[in-house]
Amino acid sequence: MRLILVLLIFVSTLCFGQTKNKSLIVVETHFDANGDRYRKLVSYSFKKGNFISKDTLYTAYDDKKDKYKNWFDYGYGSFIYKNRYAISTNGSVYDLNKKSLILDSGDDFVKINGDSVFFYHNNYKGIGLWAFNLKTRNYVLLNRDKIDKDKKWSPDYKSYIKVLRTKTAFQISLCKNGVSSPILIDVTAAYIARFFFTKKIETCWLNKISFLYASHTNTFPPLPKLVPELIERSTTDTIKTYDFTPRDDASTKVTIFKYNINTQKSEKIAEIDSITHSFKNGQFSKDEKKELIYITTNGVFNQLNLRSKKMTPYPYTALKHGFSVENKYNRGGQILKYHGLAIGRINSSYNIYPANKFLATAYISKMWIWNAYTHTGTSFSMPNIFQIVGWVDNLTS
């Protein structure tokens, strides 16, 4: 009878799993009584949805003698890797299991592959691409080549495209298998974005042989208006300044094309007419379901279907673990949903960190954490400067 009971407990554990403690890793910036700045890596731990502890894992003060050594800084884009390493975009790697900072280089994060984390610097230390091995903790210089951030590589890293700006439009060039080709395409950007000399024209690789790009046709372009403005000098003079606010009647039509680098031909996929002008170009992205999304210059989300060659409204962005967020900002914030049911509103969709049955979001000096165990959210008062890094399971004490 005892053996049967043990077997039943074992099978139950296998089938339903054990309840894991969840910990949110956050970097907080503080100032002491003397005004000296320091940063803390902290964990907010939960069990079955209940907050159980806040623990400081690491503290780093600024180096007063050498400001270039103040590298321990986790900015937006930092993340948790393998449920163990807190990796920053600024060259810091913290081992959550060993409770130790194992790299603090101040270099820019490039990519990660297996146990190798790649960083790049182009500063007072010179130019270089480095690889840090998480197991051996060796930090090795790979080369001193300058990284061209304007290159957008294909998924197989054998070809790249690059957007070039001219006086009147943009051009897309291709380098295929190490061989540069002539200019492929002339592209027109949104007028106001082109006026401000932005290089960010919309492109997106679909696979190793094809990519998407967007071209704009402008209607009633918002020409700069001369506006008189008073300034104080020795005498008060009236000078003329430019007002770059787009006119109310200005709009643009965007057309999405797919380009095949083997056939060197463009295929029209879809278009949207009468988009209100903005100060930035649109962009392509993919949600957690790998759906292709196009965000217009004025921030409207559309789902792009390559087979039907249509764009349809995309009101909610799918996040991981059953969460989704409203794409349109309304008074009171954007709606958050969990498996289709509204759970609250947020002020910014950029700082959302979902996990299994948990979601954290940050805004100014507040952090809000919702859980599916109690279906409630908990607010935390935070310092003015803080950054969520990510979630870990069963953080060791």
- Where along the chain do its domains lie? 20-70+317-397, 86-147, 185-314
**Least trusted range by pLDDT, from 22-36, 148-162, 232-246, 359-373:** 232-246
**Burial track 320-346 (b if 16+ CB lie within 10 A, e otherwise):** eebbbbbbeeeeeebbbbbeeeebbeb
Neighbours of 119 (CB within 10 A): 24
Q: Sorting pLDDT into bands at 50, 70 and 90, what band is 20?
A: confident
**Least trusted range by pLDDT, from 194-198, 299-303, 305-309, 340-344:** 194-198
The most confident of the ranges 2-6, 15-19, 139-143 is 139-143
Spell out the residues 6+ positions from residue 291 whose beta carbon is closer than 8 angstroms to its own: 303, 314, 318
* Per-residue pLDDT tens over the stretch 67-93: 556 567 788 889 999 999 999 998 999
Predicted confidence at residue 189, as pLDDT, reads: 61
Q: Sorting pLDDT into bands at 50, 70 and 90, what band is 200?
A: low
Q: Is the pLDDT of residue 38 over 60?
A: yes
**Burial track 356-378 (b if 16+ CB lie within 10 A, e otherwise):** ebbbbbbeeeebbbbbbeeeeeb
* Per-residue pLDDT tens over the stretch 260-304: 999 989 999 998 876 666 656 788 999 888 899 998 877 789 999
Spell out the residues 6+ positions from residue 389 whose beta carbon is closer than 8 angstroms to its own: 25, 26, 27, 74, 78, 79, 80, 86, 88
Predicted confidence at residue 51, as pLDDT, reads: 95
Query: Of 91, 17, 72, 79, whose CA–CA distance to 394 is shortest?
Result: 17
Q: Is the pLDDT of residue 195 over 60?
A: no
Average pLDDT, the chain: 82
Spell out the residues 6+ positions from residue 382 whose beta carbon is closer than 8 angstroms to its own: 26, 28, 362, 365, 366, 367
Predicted confidence at residue 70, as pLDDT, reads: 58
Predicted confidence at residue 194, as pLDDT, reads: 44
Residue with tokens 């959550």: 96
Predicted confidence at residue 83, as pLDDT, reads: 97
Predicted confidence at residue 277, as pLDDT, reads: 61
Predicted confidence at residue 276, as pLDDT, reads: 67
Predicted confidence at residue 6, as pLDDT, reads: 42
pTM recorded for the entire structure: 0.80
Query: Of 72, 88, 56, 133, whose CA–CA distance to 395 is shortest?
Result: 56
Strands 185-187 and 203-205: unpaired
Predicted confidence at residue 282, as pLDDT, reads: 80
Predicted confidence at residue 171, as pLDDT, reads: 84
Question: What is the C-alpha separation between 397 and 393, in angstroms, rounded?
Answer: 12
Q: Is the pLDDT of residue 16 over 60?
A: no
Of the chain, the percentage scoring pLDDT greater than 90 comes to 47
Beta carbons of 147 and 129 less than 8 angstroms apart = yes
Strands 126-133 and 139-143: antiparallel
Predicted confidence at residue 186, as pLDDT, reads: 76
Predicted confidence at residue 74, as pLDDT, reads: 84
Residue with tokens 């969709």: 349
- DSSP 8-class letter at 18: P
* Per-residue pLDDT tens over the stretch 212-264: 998 877 665 555 554 454 444 444 454 444 444 545 555 677 889 999 999 98
The SS3 assignment for 147 reads coil
